[in-house]
């Protein structure tokens, strides 16, 4: 059990952090029994009997006395290294001259965190406020320059390995569906469901240029095959006949994803109304019109037959919102239009052009959405909130955020990353590796027209599907992925009424929409202090116990820093 001491203003941040790091914890009280006490942004109590005391913070604390050593220097931000991983820090950071096992170092080699042993107890001092970092990541997110770094996940790994590295055991419910490595969420934004509706506008002219001149240039640069060049030229030649209705509209074949995904469920975010650009709300203004180009040339009724075919095949139909992010009334109107055509409740939303701000989660919640999937990047791929987990925005009460990690246009557009297929595979390899090692969800967005001329990104998409399968992914719709995480969040760790050293985990018996259940992960002590700092043993050894079928209560007991291998089912 971890006893937490934090500022009252950080309560929401603390609770959300321990939903992501699902391990036994409670707010510290004097008569509690704790293996670990974590103190951040608050005064440490005069006496702590825990085996490990961890103090976070850039300010001088009561522990920074002559015995522990004063702060050596302070900066407003930093990038630190932990076992080969880089962690950007967005708040104040302090370094220490104190001797001890170095845990984190900045770019200058200064010690940002250390561990030392005092009177058979362990003390860890970390020179930043973890809950300030979590608040920043969940509220503002990371700049695109740090998109590839799962900073919040690294903070969790650091804390976990601090505990096991100091000889203590740990139990958690990892963000890993039983029998799989992680969840893969395939999504598709329907921005341009028909080229016939684009006549002599920027979209049509852009298509013609990229299909003809742009394709020829890419062949000469070795970035496009001759076969794809011919496909694009033929499509450009057919365009007049598409407008006359003599040739099928090659952008209106987004239901081909059913064939490409071959039984893997996916989610389609569909625009409800044509011609509505919506509001942009520039910084400092309450309202403002979005660019006219944001208005779609189609509405959901134009593709109703294909939408119903997708729904009948088990795909989810969500809202590609226009003004839902800044007006709950309009969000209700937009969701109702999607539900009318798909004949199913609209659970979730992703805003068109990824419009969002810190107020958006509460507004979407008022419109009765259960999840949002807008938090991501237009210009790159990565972890905007620093995590591969579904999380609850700090201003929401129940709405969950399914973060967007990988988008096709970010990978391949020349103005963004501009990668070839092979370069894109290499770029995404660390994301697949992180998901396979840490769990969570990897959310992919492949647009409706991306398997059609002139993009022709379907070949790479099929390759990506194969890589996800090889990594052991469980494929879920957005609602299914959110449902699984809701089940995990519903689990509660409680101290036993019989024995204070026993902890029970209680999970409601209701099933989620996903067959895969939860598991309990028992992390074993690292064996020697500081061993967790070595890259080859960064992740502790663990044993998983799968909770099968009906979700019930389990109890485990910690004795002399070693978790019992046997788990008794109540």
Q: What is the pLDDT of residue 372?
A: 98
189 lies in the same domain as 229: no
Judge whether 267 lies within some domain.
yes
pLDDT over 70 for what percent of the chain? 88
Confidence band, pLDDT 50/70/90 cuts, at residue 154: very high
Arithmetic mean of pLDDT, 164-193: 95
Helix (H) or strand (E) holding 330: helix 328-342
CA distance 121 to 262: 55
Judge whether 85 lies within some domain.
yes
Judge whether 327 lies within some domain.
yes
Q: What is the pLDDT of residue 248?
A: 95
273 lies in the same domain as 347: yes
188 lies in the same domain as 140: no
Tokens of 443: 């959310």
Confidence band, pLDDT 50/70/90 cuts, at residue 530: low
CA distance 462 to 458: 6
Backbone φ and ψ of 416, nearest 5° = -110, -120
Listed residues 250, 278, 296: the one ending a domain: 250
Arithmetic mean of pLDDT, 365-381: 98
| Residue indicated by tokens 């700092």 | 533
Integer CA distances (angstroms), 326 to 321, 355, 365, 494, 516, in order: 10, 9, 11, 39, 35
Helix (H) or strand (E) holding 557: strand 554-559
Arithmetic mean of pLDDT, 376-387: 98
Tokens of 512: 């989620």
262 lies in the same domain as 295: yes
Tell me the torsion sign for CA atoms 380, 384, 389, 390.
negative
Confidence band, pLDDT 50/70/90 cuts, at residue 483: very high
Contacts of 498 (CB under 8 A, 6+ apart): none
Q: What is the pLDDT of residue 564?
A: 35
Arithmetic mean of pLDDT, 157-183: 94
Q: What is the pLDDT of residue 476?
A: 97
Lowest mean pLDDT among 363-377, 460-474, 485-499, 534-548: 534-548
Residue 556 has pLDDT above 90, yes or no: no
Confidence band, pLDDT 50/70/90 cuts, at residue 80: very high
418 lies in the same domain as 353: yes
Confidence band, pLDDT 50/70/90 cuts, at residue 45: low
Q: What is the pLDDT of residue 568?
A: 34
Which tens digit of pLDDT belongs to each residue from 534-548? 443 345 689 988 875
Q: What is the pLDDT of residue 503?
A: 72
Task: Please state, rounded to an integer, the average pLDDT across all residues of the chain.
Answer: 89
CA distance 142 to 263: 34
Contacts of 566 (CB under 8 A, 6+ apart): none
CA distance 271 to 260: 23
Q: What is the pLDDT of residue 493?
A: 86
CA distance 475 to 316: 13
Residue 62 has pLDDT above 90, yes or no: no
Judge whether 443 lies within some domain.
yes
Question: In Å, how far from its chain's centre is CA 522?
Answer: 24
CA distance 356 to 403: 12
CA distance 127 to 58: 5
283 lies in the same domain as 220: no
Confidence band, pLDDT 50/70/90 cuts, at residue 41: confident
Tokens of 142: 């990371």
Integer CA distances (angstroms), 329 to 242, 343, 358, in order: 38, 21, 18
Contacts of 299 (CB under 8 A, 6+ apart): 271, 272, 273, 274, 337
Largest CA distance in the chain: 85
Which tens digit of pLDDT belongs to each residue from 391-437? 999 999 999 999 999 999 999 999 999 999 999 999 999 999 999 99
553 lies in the same domain as 444: no
CA distance 184 to 464: 11
Which tens digit of pLDDT belongs to each residue from 315-371? 999 999 999 999 999 999 999 999 999 999 999 999 999 999 999 999 999 999 999
Judge whether 177 lies within some domain.
no
Confidence band, pLDDT 50/70/90 cuts, at residue 558: very low
Listed residues 453, 483, 513: the one ending a domain: 483
357 lies in the same domain as 434: yes
Q: What is the pLDDT of residue 283?
A: 60
Q: What is the pLDDT of residue 559?
A: 33
Confidence band, pLDDT 50/70/90 cuts, at residue 118: confident
Tell me the torsion sign for CA atoms 131, 132, 134, 139.
positive
CB contact at 8 A, 372 and 328: no
CB contact at 8 A, 111 and 93: no
Confidence band, pLDDT 50/70/90 cuts, at residue 215: very high
305 lies in the same domain as 365: yes
Taking residue 8's Cβ as centre, other Cβ atoms within 10 Å add up to 8
Judge whether 336 lies within some domain.
yes
Cross-strand bridge partners of residue 186? 444
Listed residues 483, 508, 536: the one ending a domain: 483
Contacts of 229 (CB under 8 A, 6+ apart): 215, 216, 218, 219
pLDDT over 90 for what percent of the chain? 74
The CATH number assigned to the domain holding 144 equals 3.40.50.880
453 lies in the same domain as 526: no
CA distance 15 to 433: 28
Judge whether 488 lies within some domain.
no
305 lies in the same domain as 447: yes
3-state helix vs strand vs coil in the chain, percent to 5: 35, 25, 45
Q: Which of the pair, 491 or 272, is modelled with greater confidence?
A: 272
The total domain count for the chain is 4
Tokens of 19: 């939903």
Global pTM value = 0.92
- DSSP for 466-478, please give it: HHHHHTTEEEE-H
Tokens of 219: 């062949």
Q: What is the pLDDT of residue 537?
A: 39
Taking residue 502's Cβ as centre, other Cβ atoms within 10 Å add up to 15
Confidence band, pLDDT 50/70/90 cuts, at residue 68: low
116 lies in the same domain as 137: yes
Judge whether 475 lies within some domain.
yes
Q: Which range marks the domain in which residue 227 is found? A: 195-250
């Amino acid at each position: 059990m971890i006893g937490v001491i934090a500022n009252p203003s950080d309560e929401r941040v603390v609770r959300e952090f321990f939903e992501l790091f699902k391990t036994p914890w409670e707010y510290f009280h004097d008569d509690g029994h704790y293996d670990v006490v974590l103190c951040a942004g608050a005064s440490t109590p005069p006496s702590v009997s825990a085996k490990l005391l961890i103090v976070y913070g850039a300010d001088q604390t009561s522990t920074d006395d002559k015995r522990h050593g004063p702060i050596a220097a302070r900066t407003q931000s930093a990038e630190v290294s932990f076992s080969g991983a880089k962690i950007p820090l967005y708040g104040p950071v302090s370094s220490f001259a104190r001797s001890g096992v170095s845990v984190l170092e900045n770019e200058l080699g200064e010690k940002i965190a250390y561990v030392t042993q005092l009177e058979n107890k362990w003390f860890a001092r970390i020179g930043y406020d973890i809950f300030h970092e979590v608040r920043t990541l969940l509220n503002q997110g990371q700049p695109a320059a740090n998109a590839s770094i799962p900073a919040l996940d690294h903070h969790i790994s650091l804390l976990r390995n601090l505990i096991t590295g100091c000889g203590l055991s740990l139990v958690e419910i990892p963000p890993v569906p039983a029998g799989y490595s992680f969840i893969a969420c395939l999504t598709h934004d329907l921005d341009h469901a028909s080229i016939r509706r684009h006549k002599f506008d920027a979209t049509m002219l852009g298509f013609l240029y990229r299909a003809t001149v742009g394709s020829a240039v890419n062949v000469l640069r070795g970035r496009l095959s001759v076969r794809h060049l011919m496909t694009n030229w033929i499509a450009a030649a057919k365009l007049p006949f598409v407008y006359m209705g003599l040739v099928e509209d090659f952008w209106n074949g987004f239901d081909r994803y059913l064939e490409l995904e071959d039984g893997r469920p996916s989610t389609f975010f569909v625009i409800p109304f044509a011609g509505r650009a919506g509001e942009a709300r520039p910084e400092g203004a309450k309202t403002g019109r979005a660019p006219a180009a944001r208005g779609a040339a189609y509405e959901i009724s134009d593709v109703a037959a294909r939408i119903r075919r997708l729904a009948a095949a088990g795909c989810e139909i969500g809202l590609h919102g226009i003004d839902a992010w800044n007006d709950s009334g309009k969000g209700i109107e937009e969701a109702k239009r999607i539900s009318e055509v798909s004949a199913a409740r609209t659970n979730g939303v992703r805003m068109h052009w990824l419009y969002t701000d810190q107020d958006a989660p509460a507004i979407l919640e008022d419109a009765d959405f259960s999840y949002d999937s807008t938090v991501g990047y237009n210009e790159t791929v990565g972890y905007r909130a620093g995590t591969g987990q579904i999380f609850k925005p700090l201003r929401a009460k129940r709405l969950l955020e399914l973060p967007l990690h990988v988008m096709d246009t970010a990978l391949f557009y020349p103005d963004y990353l501009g990668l070839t297929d092979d370069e894109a595979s290499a770029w995404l390899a660390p994301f697949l590796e992180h998901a396979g090692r840490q769990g969570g969800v990897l959310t992919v967005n492949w647009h409706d027209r991306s398997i059609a001329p002139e993009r022709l990104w379907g070949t790479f998409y099929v390759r990506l599907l194969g890589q996800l399968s090889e990594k052991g992914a469980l494929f879920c719709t957005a609602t299914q992925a959110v449902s699984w995480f809701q089940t995990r969040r519903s689990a509660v760790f409680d101290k036993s009424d019989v024995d204070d050293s026993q902890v029970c985990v209680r999970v409601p018996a209701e099933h989620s929409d996903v067959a895969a259940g939860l598991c309990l992960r028992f992390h074993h002590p690292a064996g020697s202090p500081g061993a967790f700092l070595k890259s080859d043993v960064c992740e502790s050894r663990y044993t998983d116990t799968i909770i099968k079928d009906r979700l019930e209560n389990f109890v485990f007991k910690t004795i002399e820093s070693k978790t019992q291998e046997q788990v008794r089912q109540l």
